[in-house]
Amino acid sequence: MISPLVDLEAGQELDHYRIDALVAQSGMAVIFRATDLRDGRTVAIKVPDPNLETDPVRFDRFRREEEIGAALHHPNVMHIYPDGHRSRLYMVMEWCDGLLLRDILTQEGKLPQERALRIALGILHALEYIHQHGVVHRDLKPENIMVDEHDHIKLIDFGIASLEGAKRLTYTGYTQALGTPEYIAPEQVKGKRGDARSDLYAMGVMLYEMLTGRTPFSGPSPLAVMNDRLQNHPYPPNQAEPGIRPELQEVLYRALEREPKNRYASAHAFAWDLEHLDQVGVAERDELLEWKGKKTGISRKALVYVVLALVPVLLFLAMLLLARHHS
């Protein structure tokens, strides 16, 4: 069912685009597959909630996503087509064939190592490109990776990405404040904005999941998952999947370092190790000895970090409720 706030359906025309089918929807936007009637090209059209234009922060973030996507030109990154002459607010994006990585993992549980590494390298090439252009994705997860039938990938959804040199935008919701609990880096849990190394941490979590069928940290709630990340070592990859060789396990540990300064310095360095596993030195890690001594309680320090990170969200919600009360 299409949101009643979006008055479009298949067969209708929006400027020079024909709406062909509903693809996805959320509380903030609806995405359609459409045809550009000028050249027959298939595109994706993202139509936001009309109320977005009355919310300066959400409006600026929508425009920021369009600005970022229009400036990026890479085979592993979804492109956004700019156009200053439109009858309403919407975004036109490259149509990407394939399945979300999340859907693939749901269907298959875990992937053969060769395929997991092939997909991971595609993602790292995309990250290397966007980081070189001053963009940090900040919400890297399987839901934001499209994979085609040849395992070529497209990095999608720059909704909460940051752009070097641009003004900082206030976030407007729980996931936008903290990303997705299973994939965010420890510094993001602490309320920091995150940088390229935060994307590499999320890439480490995704590679771990592709190889083992699970994520390295777990818990019964988002807070517990984030606390696990701050207090404990990752569950050893070769315990979850015995076929993981020591060199590949070392790569995962390097990507999942709690301190950003100890992680890979770049997507290029991460990819180089994956392509040259025989040359990866294996460290004697405390993580392999201490992982069983898991702390399960929510630490006061972790709770403080999460509460501090949520303060802007709570203030925003209070202001929104107050505005609606007086409207």
Q: Is residue 319 part of a domain?
A: no
pLDDT at 61: 85
Q: Is residue 285 part of a domain?
A: yes
* 73-82 as b/e: b if 16+ CB within 10 A: ebebbbbbee
| Residue tagged active-site, from 139, 199, 228, 273 | 139
- 170: pLDDT strictly greater than 70: no
303 and 288 in a common domain: yes
Q: Is residue 8 part of a domain?
A: no
pLDDT digits (tens, 9 = 90+) for 17-44: 999 999 988 767 899 999 999 999 999 9
DSSP string, 26-90: -SSEEEEEEEETTT--EEEEEEE-GGGGG-HHHHHHHHHHHHHHHH--BTTB--EE--S--SSS-
Q: Domain count of the chain?
A: 2
User: For residue 33, what is the domain's CATH number?
Assistant: 3.30.200.20
In eight-state DSSP terms, residue 149 is: T
71 and 36 in a common domain: yes
User: For residue 193, what is the domain's CATH number?
Assistant: 1.10.510.10
117 and 225 in a common domain: yes
- 318: pLDDT strictly greater than 70: no
114 and 69 in a common domain: no
154 and 23 in a common domain: no
Question: Domain ends where: 94, 118, 153?
Answer: 94
Amino acid making up residue 207: L
118 and 150 in a common domain: yes
Q: Is residue 7 part of a domain?
A: no
288 and 272 in a common domain: yes
**Domain range holding 74?**
13-94
Across the range 232-244, mean pLDDT stands at 91
124 and 254 in a common domain: yes
- 223: pLDDT strictly greater than 50: yes
> Residue 311 and residue 271: Cα distance in Å, rounded?
37
- 298: pLDDT strictly greater than 80: no
103 and 90 in a common domain: no
Name the 3-class secondary structure at 174: helix
Whether 39 is a known active-site residue: answer no
Question: Domain ends where: 94, 112, 128?
Answer: 94
Element (H, E) at 271: helix 267-275
Question: Domain ends where: 94, 125, 142?
Answer: 94
Q: Is residue 107 part of a domain?
A: yes
